[in-house]
Each structure stands twice: as C-alpha cells, then as structure tokens.
Amino acid sequence: MKRHVHNYLKYFEIGEQDTWCCEACGRIFHINNGLDIHHIILKSQGGTDDITNCICLCRRCHDMAHAEKLSKGELQFIHNNFLVGTRKQFMK
C-alpha cells in the first residue's frame, strides 16, 4: 500500500473493507473499489504524503482533478472543509 493511502486510511481510521465518500461529490463507495487518494499538489511538484495534501476522490472526480476541471485551489478548499467537518464529528 502506498504511503499516502496508508496515511489517509490511518488518519480517518478507515479499514480496508469499509465504505467512504468522495470528498468532492459526496458519493459513497467501497474504499477498495471506486475511490482513489489523490495528491492535491502532485509529488512531482513537491507535494507530500501528509493528510493535508491527500484527498479522497471517486474515479470521476479524480479524472476531473487530473484534467484540471477541479483546480488545486478548489481541491484544497474542499479538503480543508472536509477535515474540519470530520474533526467536529469525531469530537462529538
């Protein structure tokens, strides 16, 4: 398992058999079938495997990110809101 995927799953305490959502469109998928962990800033451009740089996307949204139909700024905004929202849920 790649480091960025491992970091994401560990941060959210997601098991390999769990379901999870695309952070961009909200659709639910099995974690191993239909979801990808995408680097917001690509590693080739200096991005890291840190949770702040990794967003969970369905294949459709992942393709849109690579085609730049979802900009890095949009992805970062979506991911930051997702991180804040899930943090609030875990704190309840």
92: in domain: no
Which residue segment(s) compose the domain that 64 sits in? 3-85
| Collapsed DSSP state (helix, strand, coil) of residue 63 | helix
For residue 13, tell me if it sits in a domain.
Answer: yes
CA distance 63 to 67: 6
- CB 24 within 8 Å of CB 56: no
Task: Give per-residue pLDDT as tens, 38-61.
Answer: 999 999 999 999 999 999 999 999
What's the average model confidence in pLDDT over 12-41? 94
Confidence of residue 85 (pLDDT cuts 50, 70, 90): confident
Q: How many CB atoms lie within 10 A of CB 57?
A: 26
- pLDDT of res. 32: 87
The answer to whether residue 9 sits within a structural domain is yes
pLDDT-based confidence at 86, cuts 50/70/90? confident
Considering only CA atoms, which of 64, 7, 5 is closest in space to residue 31?
5
Total number of domains in the chain: 1
Q: Could you tell me if residue 80 is inside a domain?
A: yes
